Amino acid sequence: MSKSIGERGYTKADVLVSTDWVEQHLKDKDVRIAESNEDPLLYSSNHIPGAVEIDWTRDLNDPVRRDYLGRIAFEKLMRRVGATRDTTIVLYGDKNNWWATYAFWLLQLFGHENAKIMDGGRLKWIKENKPVTRDVPKYQPSNYHAPERDDTKFRAFRDQTLKHLERKLPMIDVRSPEEYRGERLHMPDYPNEGALRGGHIPGALNVPWARAVNTDDGTFKDAADLRKIYSEENKLRPEDDVITYCRIGERSSHTWFVLRYLLGFPKVRNYDGSWTEWGNLVQAPVENPSAEARDEAAA
């Protein structure tokens, strides 16, 4: 029997809710359940009754330039799903909540702190044979007012990342070891995409994001196991100033969530430009063990 969320030793356990908790709050008017997936058909194929969809491409990204939605668009989104600043927004989704944590991270840029992740995500809910529906709910539009997006606390840009590198502060590359080593420019089972150079930001640690998740049910590992990974193996300390990155900032938002909320690292930022920006930047410092090994062999 797995431990309950409260027994797992997280610094901020109330940021996670169980599938049972969600089932008990399906009709709670103060709770808005939101599904966020990579697969655009999944929500429509079925979802938790009452859940709205937050689509990461249509809803969360600026449609023209590479950036996230601004305040007006965020307010429009929240009003559409009938959420107020006091609504508890519970996010869940496919791929071990990878996209749900991405949406969660974005909510934090607008200061919507009353947000939670459903532990285990969509797959756990389905495996437990909990109710699903194809009915799309309609909520009375709210009058949500958001502050301007604050990119200073949880988001890192390339110049900040470069300074972080120069100061030799810790960074975590959460991509696969093959991507980190420069053997491929994309995650396993994904075709090549998006960057002219392979490798990683010099000095970055490689801790693949999915190590934080139990493979059997997609739930987060307990705090002791997470500390083994991040603190014992990789020598990170809670007082460290940490930047996480991946390919476009989606997988690294998962690790950002783990470090900030489950392990209580107060100063963690997600570099969402990630490798699709850094790997294309002219003269950006890169470590590529794979290429270096090839050069040595050729010498």
Partner 1 sequence: MKPLPDRLESLLTTLETLDRGDRIQMLIELADQFSPVPPRIAQRPFAADHRVPGCESEAYVWAEPHPSGGLDYYFAVENPQGISAMALAGILGTSLSGAALDEVATVPADVIFRIFGRELSMGKSLGLMGMVNMVRAAARQQQQAAATGK
In the complex, which residues of this chain contact partner 1 (CB under 8 A)? 38-42, 44-45, 55-58, 94, 122-123, 126, 186-187, 189-191, 193-194, 248
The residues near 4 (Cβ < 8 Å, ≥ 6 apart) are 18
Residue with Cβ nearer partner 1 (57 or 143) = 57
Q: Which residues pair with 53 in a beta bridge?
A: 35
Residue with Cβ nearer partner 1 (170 or 273) = 273
Least CB distance to partner 1 at residue 234 (A) = 26
Q: Would residue 246 show up in a list of annotated catalytic residues for this protein?
A: yes
Residue with Cβ nearer partner 1 (17 or 248) = 248
Least CB distance to partner 1 at residue 112 (A) = 23
- Pick the closest to residue 101 from 219, 254, 248 (CA basis): 254
Residue with Cβ nearer partner 1 (10 or 278) = 278
Least CB distance to partner 1 at residue 133 (A) = 13
Residue from 246, 248, 258, 262 carrying the catalytic annotation? 246
Decide if 231 contacts 225 (C-beta within 8 A). no
Residue with Cβ nearer partner 1 (55 or 183) = 55
Q: What is the dihedral of CA 287, 290, 293, 295, to 10 degrees?
A: -80
Least CB distance to partner 1 at residue 194 (A) = 7
Residue with Cβ nearer partner 1 (223 or 248) = 248
Least CB distance to partner 1 at residue 189 (A) = 5
Least CB distance to partner 1 at residue 37 (A) = 9
56, 188, 218, 220 from 215: Cα distances, Å:
24, 17, 6, 9
- The catalytic site residues sit at 246
